Structure 1
Amino acid sequence: MIVNRKFTNATLYHLLVGGLAFLMLYPVFWLIASSLKPNAEIFANAYSLIPSRIEWSNYVTGWKGFGNMTFTTFFKNSIIISILSTVGAVCSSAVVAYALARIPFFGRTFWFGCVMMVMMLPTDVTTVPQYVMFTKLGWVSTFKPIIVPSYFGFPFFIFLIMQFIRTIPHELDEAAKIDGCSKFGIFFKVILPLIIPALMTSAIFSFYWRWDDFITPLLYLNKPEMYPVSLALKMFLDADSLNNWGGLFAMSTLSLVPILIVFFTFQKYIVEGISTSGLKG
């Protein structure tokens, strides 16, 4: 009886969790299924996940893009923006976090408070001042307004990496000083190898947020050949008078691939960063 009750409880648990997982993933399944349906069938049989016939041509027509520009250009732009922004955000945030967590200097508490205030500040508040500033600098219609700000630190990543650095014993810093390491030496030889999980977690979030960003490219990029995928998908539908939904959903499906690759490749670092401290025995 006890064995049967445990089996029943386990079965019900897995059915419940599986059902909830299906509900959460249903929009993704629907997107993939719609990318393989004929245009006339996408909304005529909207709830079905099984196409009457598979239309691989949606991916061919969708990749052709619009205005003599294929999605090769748009994916290339997104990759350039996402990688450069991620590198800048993670590297600069790590340096700032190390300074705030380990180096005593006048006003450190004040600057940490500023970081926390900026982290809680809505993005909409800074949109207009930033646009005015970048316009006067002549950066509009370039990648600079999207990429360059990342190299001045990202408040959330600074806070995340700071919390991770604080778990590292100060004795390691003292030992490195005795061996003749400077503050930079301590950062690169002691701290940096131990905060890799926090850096990778920040990199995943940064890549995802920048890849998915729509508003910033919409504000600063005026040339279609500079559009990232997020902006090209919207323009792709507007530019097609026939409303090629199959092609749009096909390109939307492909736009998920880089994010999934990055996440599943580095997800172990997220778990490691949450479940362990900065020092391993």
Structure 2
Amino acid sequence: MKNRLRYLAGIAAALALLCGSTPRALAAQAASGIAVLVADQSAPGAMPSSGQITLNGVVGLLAAESGLNLTVHAYPWRRAQLMAKNGEGLLYGAAETPERAAAFTFTKPLYMVNQWLVTPAQHHIDFRRWEDLRGKVISIGAGGHFGPEFEEHRDKTFTVQDNTATISGRFKMLNMGRVDALLIDSFRSAPQLEQRLNCLYGDIGAWAVMAKPVSAEAVTISVAKTSPLHALVPQLNDAIDRLNKTRGFHKYLDRRAAAPGC
């Protein structure tokens, strides 16, 4: 009952905000579903991945707490970013860069993720500092950007490959030696992630996750500054504050990380 009342109150607040400054069709978006745009790295026709299920759970928590009707929609990352910039939804998990900061407002952090280097099990990279990646080719998701230090060294200390759309395709490239490592962000620890990747992609090869993360970064939701959806940022931030106070996100992610299987 509490969540139902919060949901109805959230819809009413969202409609009030949107009706004040937008066409009627856009106000209806709050009731019919506000798109949360996420990166789709699955092969066409594949079943939802464990990562997708986890992300749906996080967005579900935020929807219940905020009272907003948030619905997850997965697209190739470049397309998702363009759609968000055009005001077609909220963008989930985009790293804050100067270019994005000019176009988007970022919510408060939902939780933190580490950015892990993944290599073939027999070809570790002893990563301790950026110089250890000199001359390496690092695979990232198509259209991906990471923190300031990574971007500073990108295409200077190391080369980035970001032309492969699916995560399985990236592992195949790694197995063939076309790249030296993958960069994957995850809320899991290195041992947890290594176990999961070997479970999911063990048919391609054997994998190792380096002990030291490249960096850590906050997961946020970004909203185009020119979009009517921008009016929802305070409502989202209030819900994020409450969930972080109760450790709602963290408890859920801890359960997912400890779950058996892939």
Task: Provide the TM-score with structure 2 as the length reference.
Answer: 0.29
Higher-helix-fraction structure: 1
In our comparison, the structure showing a higher alpha carbon Rg is 1
Higher-strand-fraction structure: 2
Task: Provide the TM-score with structure 1 as the length reference.
Answer: 0.27
